[in-house]
């Protein structure tokens, strides 16, 4: 049997990772433009003790879903599937694809011949599967993360990547290792048909910005640390822990990656809204939010260097101060722009 659903295209943002890319591809395959949905929410949330060593880590609590946490302003959800074994997992994915529904699957880069980490470094990654040819024994895989790949690999190669224990073998197995892949796969669930998703007009822009401002003002709810106060508490705690000699490298690197991606994609949403609605102020604030994303990128690099003492608490504290100062300024400016919409 040979199955290959149509309209499966890569989506990539330079500061986001496999999670945003996979969800964007799945949305657009359903006829939903990705950026208006994927980039709408700008949030901070941290669940102490809940950070998983996965490239696609994103915080969400009980009763929520991964994709729902990523796009909380739209009727988007997801479901993790945890098959009992590799054979069951393969059949589940092939059945979904045969029904015309691409899915995202968790994989270990160590076993994927198109990844630079092949047979070198273990790493917990996410790719889209959208076709298979049982006669040839191949599956069609889309991975938009550089160096990027869109083509066929063998079923055996995909199965090895999905069934991997993702072990920590040496000191280069960092950040995204130690969590069993377990043949997991994730499906997109929509709470409304594509035609009922809101258009990006002035009312929608005002709604989205208002929700984000409420979140950072502490009115957004959610478990753990959230909003601007939660962000400051999380970062100040990291500084204190580094000063005390605690190794926060993995937790801070992974958690900051989720915020970095969210912030960077929202910057593009603001630019899109500004151009679409002819509101230059939103384009300007998009650039300002992009600056904050780069703060997070620098902080993430700093976090990676704290493990062996190359950078200490003082350097990290200066990064935190610059990030928070710019973030507070942008929120004030966005409130003005929202009032004028």
- Using one digit for the tens of pLDDT, what is the confidence trace for 32-55? 999 999 999 999 999 888 888 888
Share the mean pLDDT of the chain.
Answer: 91
Q: Is the pLDDT of residue 223 over 90?
A: no
Domain boundaries, the chain: 2-195, 199-340
pLDDT at 319: 92
Where residue 218 falls (left for φ over 0; alpha for ψ -120 to 50; beta otherwise) is left
Peptide bond into 147 cis (omega under 30): yes
In this prediction, residue 294 carries a pLDDT of: 96
Kindly state the tokens that stand for 23: 């969800």
What number is the average pLDDT over the span 268-272? 98
Higher per-residue confidence, 121 vs 86: 86
CA 14 to CA 22: how far, in whole Å? 14
Nearest to 321 by CA among 304, 298, 339: 298
Question: Which one is the CATH code of 2-195: 3.90.70.10, 3.30.465.10, 1.10.260.40, 3.40.640.10?
Answer: 3.90.70.10
Residue 337 pLDDT level (bands cut at 50, 70, 90): very high
How far is Cα 180 from Cα 196, in angstroms, rounded to an integer?
Answer: 38
Give the Cα separation of 266 and 286 in Å (integer).
8
- The pLDDT of 14-38, averaged and rounded, is 96
Q: Cβ contacts of residue 323 below 8 Å, gap of 6+?
A: 235, 292, 295, 296, 299
Alpha-carbon distance of 17 to 125, in angstroms, equals: 9
What's the per-residue H, E or C state across the chain? Answer: CEECCCCCCCCCCCCCCHHHHHHHHHHHHCCCCHHHHHCCCCCCEECCCCCCCCCCCCCCCCCCCHHHHHCCCCCEEEEEECCCCHHHHHHHHHHHHHCCCCEEEEEEHHHCCCCCCCCCCCCEEEEEEEEEECCCCEEEEEECCCCCEEEEEEHHHHHHHHCCCCCCCCCCCCCCCCCCCCCCEEEEEECCCHHHCCCCCHHHHHHHHHHHHHHHHHHCCCCCEEHHHHHHHHHHHHHHHHHCCCCCHHHHHHHHHHHHHHHHHHHHHHHHHHHHHCCHHHHHHHHHHHHHHHHHHHHHHHHHHCCCCCCCHHHHHHHHHHHHHHHHHHHHHHHHHHHHC
Cα separation, 314 vs 302, whole angstroms: 11
Among 69, 56, 52, 66, smallest CA distance to 109 is for 56
Under the banding of pLDDT at 50, 70 and 90, the label for residue 2 is low
pLDDT of the residue at 61: 87
- Mean local confidence (pLDDT), 240-252: 89
Using the predicted structure, report yes or no on whether residue 4 has a pLDDT greater than 90. Answer: no
The fraction of the chain above a pLDDT of 90, given in percent, is 75
**Where is average pLDDT lowest: 125-129, 160-164, 191-195, 299-303?**
299-303
- Average the pLDDT over 227-254 and give the result: 92
The pLDDT value given to residue 143 = 97
Q: How far is 328 from 313, CA to CA, in rounded Å?
A: 22
> Is 169's pLDDT higher than 60?
no
51-101 pLDDT, tens per residue? 888 888 999 988 899 999 999 999 999 999 999 999 999 999 999 999 999
| Strand pairing report for 76-81 and 103-108 | unpaired
* pLDDT band with cut points at 50, 70 and 90 for residue 308: low
Q: How much is the pLDDT for 173?
A: 46
Q: Output the six-digit token pair for 167.
A: 């072990």
Q: Please give the Cα distance from 247 to 124 (Å, whole number).
A: 21
pLDDT the model gives residue 249: 85
Tell me the whole-structure pTM to 2 decimals.
0.93
């Amino acid at each position: 049997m040979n199955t290959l659903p149509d309209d499966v295209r890569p989506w990539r943002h330079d500061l986001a990772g496999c999670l945003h890319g996979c969800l964007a591809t799945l949305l657009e395959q359903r006829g939903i433009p990705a950026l208006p949905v994927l980039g709408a929410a700008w949030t901070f949330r941290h669940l102490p003790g809940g950070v998983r060593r996965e490239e696609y880590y994103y915080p969400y609590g009980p009763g929520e879903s991964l994709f729902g946490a990523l796009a909380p302003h739209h009727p988007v959800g997801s479901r993790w599937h945890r098959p009992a074994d590799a054979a069951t997992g393969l059949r589940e994915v092939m059945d979904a694809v045969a029904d015309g529904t691409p899915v995202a699957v968790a994989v270990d880069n160590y076993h994927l011949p198109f990844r630079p980490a092949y047979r070198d470094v273990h790493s917990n990654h996410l790719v889209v599967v959208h076709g298979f040819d049982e006669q040839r024994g191949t599956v069609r895989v889309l991975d938009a993360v550089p160096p990027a790949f869109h083509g066929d690999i063998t079923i055996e190669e995909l199965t090895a990547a999905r069934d991997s224990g993702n072990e920590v073998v040496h000191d280069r197995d960092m950040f995204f290792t130690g969590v069993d892949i377990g043949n997991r796969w994730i499906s997109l669930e929509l709470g409304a048909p594509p035609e009922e998703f809101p258009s990006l007009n002035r009312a929608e822009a005002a709604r989205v910005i208002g929700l984000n401002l409420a979140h950072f003002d502490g009115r957004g709810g959610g478990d753990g640390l959230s909003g601007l106060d939660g962000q400051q508490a999380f970062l100040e705690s990291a500084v204190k822990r580094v000063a005390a000699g605690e190794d926060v490298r993995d937790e801070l690197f992974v958690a900051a990656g989720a915020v970095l991606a969210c912030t960077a994609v929202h910057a593009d949403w603001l630019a899109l809204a500004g151009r679409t609605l002819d509101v230059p102020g939103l384009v300007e604030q998009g650039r300002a939010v992009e600056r904050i994303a780069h703060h997070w990128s620098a902080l993430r690099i700093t976090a990676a260097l704290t493990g062996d003492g190359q950078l200490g608490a003082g350097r990290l504290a200066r990064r935190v101060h610059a990030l928070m100062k710019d973030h507070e300024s942008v929120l004030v400016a966005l409130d003005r722009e929202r009032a004028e919409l």
